[in-house]
Structure formats: structure tokens, C-alpha cells
Amino acid sequence: MKKNLLIITLVALLISFSSCSSKQNDSEDTTLPTSTSAETTAQVTTESINDTEPDYFRSEYTVQKSSAPISLTNKMTDYERLCVTKRHFTLLDEELPEPDVKIGNVTVTKEATINLYKWLWETGSITEEEYQESIANVEEYSYQEAMLNGSYYTYYIPPKGYDGGRITLGDDITYENKEANYDRFISDYFPDYDLSESQADSLVKQTKAVFEAVINGTYTELPDKNKDYMVPFSYSDPYADYRSSWEFDSEALSEIKDHIDEYLVYDEQLGLEFLVHCTLPPNYDSAKTYPVFFLTDGVWRLNDHAALYKAMENKEASEAILVSLSYNYNINGTEDMFRDKLFIRYREGLLNFITDDLMPYLGEQYSIDYSDSTLFGHSMGGVFSHYALFNSDKYENQPFFRYIIGSPAMFNLYGAHDDYDAASAESEYGYFDRHGSLDKKVFLCGGSLEDPDYSEAYSGHDSLLTGLKKMKERISSHDADLTYKLYKSHHYQYVPSMLLEFFKSEYPCS
């Protein structure tokens, strides 16, 4: 049993460091060309791009938002609730805060372990002989597991009440004190593995954080759970720092930082810890209700909070709560393969998280008018917002009334994965077969100059603009409340001005 656990944790470690380095593992199962990033080379721009091409469409059909208050049911697990952390705005800090340590008891069933070894064999991480040998000895077992920034730490955790002195770990490893444990951790546990200096440094930091949390009693105790290895985003380095990949105006964000609440929110089904920024309006009053303006790809879109906040402050728009969704700083949210995995391959899991976990949770922290709220996505995020809109009817919770689908890179649906389901996307996932009309407002937009930017990625399928226009024609044929607009722009340059324009138009100051 101990050997099985060591193999599992070691493989998890190697997966962690290979999948979260600045260059993604070449074996990642994706056909996405690197050129299809939404904003890999995006620059903050102030150029005027509001001049539209002749192709502009506004439906005569309109829908009214619900006059009755909408309430949501929070479907977070107890585990997920205990994993939520609220803290001050940290993006501009010189140093990141130490990860919160959370510790709980985990039971690994025989089925879960066998499934893990089967996956390791199928992906070539172990041989068939190793697979057969491993599953022959599988039995259920339990152990303590810690979480740091959404990353699992499965190595030795000292028992409750440990004071930093002499300790015996496992069957035969004894240290006179905690410092001896830190100093010898790598040489004793992984002498035969070629760990880089940064990998070894991270492991020692993780061990120190867990030990100190136990000694000081500063950890959060998590409820017991069964281990599920087959989640999409299980492992990452909790001490990686990708803040340099974020694009923002530090001076502009500094002016509103006292209005920004920052949350770490973990999702069990995805195995991913999200970073959520909520900017409260200038005159926020907890006795009032406010719509949410929800922006995906916070690594870029958090920067737009400053201009949107200024519009509220200048009475150019009514007050709303600005929310941007991103990933904790230990994950590079600009990576194409990561975004493809989240927004497209596992888009159902992301929609479940936003609809049934995050938006209801935020409604417990703030008074939200869901009947007037908006969801925005761009590029791969536009593929997701399209999916979210036309699958929204499958949910009891209805957190959004408006959907912005910006430059949806639908050509990314064609690839090696059957679950990308391009055919369903081209019929709006059967929404209009299930319903005669659409009770949401839709804004489709793109840049009139962007088609040549991704010509190598189309592979014989519709270009971005062709796909966008076909989407407009399909949706408008059902008398939907639809606005379609092209901006004289390439793929992403128009987005900040578009968001500000949309915000002022849809949320006019009364």
C-alpha cells in the first residue's frame, strides 16, 4: 500500500511540474494551433476602434428582463465552501501571500486507484507489466491530504499537536526537529529523481508551509472525502507566480484597489482553484441590489474594471458589480492549451461552476440582481459564452440575462476530441428544438480585420468572421433579441472600447 501511494504521489508530482511550466507538455492532447490565442500578444490600447463596418444588425424583436427577483440555489459542496478564501487585492503586491493550508482526511477506493493506474498505462507513464503488478495489490486506504493554492500535497503531514521537535515519518524516517526534515526532504524522499532546482525548492516550501500550519494550528480542516484522480486540472505548483503574464495598467487599478474584493474559489469537479475579482461600485450599498457584469479571461479583462468603474463614477453608467474570472497566479491563464481545455473541452464543467457554485455564492456576499446581469466571453471565451447561452435552459439557476459573444473562435471545435461537438454548436446545441424562442439578450461582435490573423488555423472550416455571420443568421431567424456589430479592428483590440460602449448602453445612468 505504501509503495502504491508513493508511485501515485510521485507521478502526480511529475505531472504537476510538467503541465504547469512556462511551456506546456508536448503530449497534451490538443490540435489547437498556438496562433489562436485570444490575446497572447495583446497590448493595452486607446486607439479609436468604434467605427463600424457596413455589416451591423439590430433585431426588432426585444425581450424584457424578469420583473420578479431571481434567486439561485448554491450547490457548492461543504468541501468547496471551506476552500473559499477572501483576501485583499494582491495583484499589485510585491510578494504573493503564503498559500493557505487546508488539511483533510482522504479515502482512496480500490476503483479510484485502479482507474488511475489504467490511465497511467494508457498514457505511457507506466508499462503494462507495472500496471498489472500495481493493480494486483490494490486495496482501499486513507491518508491526510493538504491543499495549497488548489494544489494537492500528499506527502507526510505531521499529526495534530506536533510542536516542531523530534518526529518519525512513516515506518523508519526519524528527524530530530522540523529543520532537519526540511534540509533532508529531497535527498531522503527522491534521491533517484532528477528534480530541477525550482522543483526541489517548491517541494521544500510546500513541506515547510504544511509543517508550520500544523505547529501553529493555522490550517483549515476540510471534511472527509473520497479521492477522485480523474479530474481535469488536479495538479500545479502552488509557488509558481505568473503575475507577469497579466496585462494591466497598475496605476489605473491602484486607484480602485480598495473597491476590489479578491476570492479564491475551488471547484472539486474541475480540480481547479479560480481567482475571482469583484469590484464594487463607487457608492455600494448592501441594502440595494446590483447587476453583475461578468468577464471571463480575467488575466486580460481585470484591466477593464478601471474604465468601467470610472464610467459609474462619472455617472455615464448605472452602478453594477464588476466580476472577472481567472485562475490563481500559479497558473498561466494566457496559455492556449489551458484555455482550450477549460473553455472548450471542459466547458460543461466550467458552466456548472459559474451557474451553480460561483454566482450563487457571490449572491450570498452581495445583493445581486440576476435578472439584469451579463456574461462576456471572447475568442475561446466566446465559444464558451455561446455554449453557456444555449445551454442555460438546462439549469434551475438563471444568473444571466445578457450574453456577449465576442469573436468566437468556433474553428477550435474541430479537432481530435469527440466531446468538442462542433455539429451541436452549429445548431446552438439544439436550443431552438427545445424552445420556440430565446428569453435572453444577445450581443455578437467581432473585428472586421481579424480573419487573416488566423488563416492557418481554419483548416478548411469557416473563418472566424464567416462563422460569426452564420451564427448571426441562425439566431436572428428565430426572432431573438440580437445585436450584431463589427468593429474596425483585429481580433482583440476592440474589446476594451466595446465593453465600455456596451456597459454604458445596457446600463444607462438613470
What's the pLDDT tens digit per position in 458-489? 888 999 999 999 999 999 999 999 999 999 99
| Three-class DSSP category at 377 | strand
Q: In this predicted structure, what is the pLDDT of residue 421?
A: 84
* 107, 231, 327, 357 from 228: Cα distances, Å: 9, 7, 21, 19
Arithmetic mean of pLDDT, 136-159: 88
Cell of residue 105, nine digits: 482526511
Confidence band of 2 (pLDDT split at 50, 70, 90): very low
Residue of 450, 469, 481, 505 whose CA lies nearest to 55 = 469
Arithmetic mean of pLDDT, 77-97: 94
Q: In this predicted structure, what is the pLDDT of residue 170?
A: 66
Arithmetic mean of pLDDT, 346-364: 98
Q: In this predicted structure, what is the pLDDT of residue 416?
A: 58
pLDDT over 50 at 363, yes or no:
yes
**What phi, psi does 228 have (nearest 5°)?**
-125, 110
Q: In this predicted structure, what is the pLDDT of residue 3?
A: 43
What's the pLDDT tens digit per position in 372-419? 999 999 999 999 999 999 999 999 999 999 999 999 999 999 865 555
What number does CATH give the domain 59-78+241-506? 3.40.50.1820
Mean pLDDT (the chain) is 87
Cell of residue 141, nine digits: 486506504
Q: Residue 238 and residue 147: Cα distance in Å, rounded?
A: 9
Output 309 or 13, whichever has higher pLDDT.
Answer: 309
Least confident of 47-61, 106-120, 350-364: 47-61
Q: In this predicted structure, what is the pLDDT of residue 197?
A: 82
- CA 476 to chain CA centroid, Å, is 31
Dihedral over Cα of 238, 244, 245, 246: its sign: positive
Confidence band of 36 (pLDDT split at 50, 70, 90): very low
- CA 112 to chain CA centroid, Å, is 25
Q: In this predicted structure, what is the pLDDT of residue 357?
A: 98
| Annotated domain spans of the chain | 2-24+98-226, 59-78+241-506
Q: In this predicted structure, what is the pLDDT of residue 155?
A: 81
In sequence order, what are the residues at sequence separation of 6 or more whose Cβ sits closer than 8 angstroms to the Cβ of residue 464? 407, 408, 409, 410, 411, 446, 450, 451, 454, 491
Residue 418's Cβ-side half-sphere holds a number of Cα atoms within 13 Å equal to: 0
pLDDT over 60 at 35, yes or no:
no
pLDDT over 50 at 311, yes or no:
yes
Q: Which letter does DSSP use for residue 20 in this model?
A: S
DSSP, residue by residue, 204-256: HHHHHHHHHHHHHT-SEEPPPEE-----TT----TT---GGG----HHHHHHH
Q: In this predicted structure, what is the pLDDT of residue 39?
A: 47
Output 67 or 18, whichever has higher pLDDT.
Answer: 67
What's the pLDDT tens digit per position in 182-206? 777 777 767 667 778 888 888 888 9
pLDDT over 90 at 21, yes or no:
no
> Burial letters for 36-67: b for 16+ Cβ neighbours within 10 Å, e otherwise?
bbbbeebeeeeeebeeeeeeeeebeeebebee
pLDDT over 80 at 40, yes or no:
no
Q: In this predicted structure, what is the pLDDT of residue 419?
A: 58
Least confident of 9-13, 165-169, 427-431: 9-13
Confidence band of 265 (pLDDT split at 50, 70, 90): very high
Share above pLDDT 70 across residues of the chain, in percent, rounded to a whole number:
87
Confidence band of 171 (pLDDT split at 50, 70, 90): low
Q: Residue 18 and residue 23: Cα distance in Å, rounded?
A: 8
Q: In this predicted structure, what is the pLDDT of residue 503?
A: 98
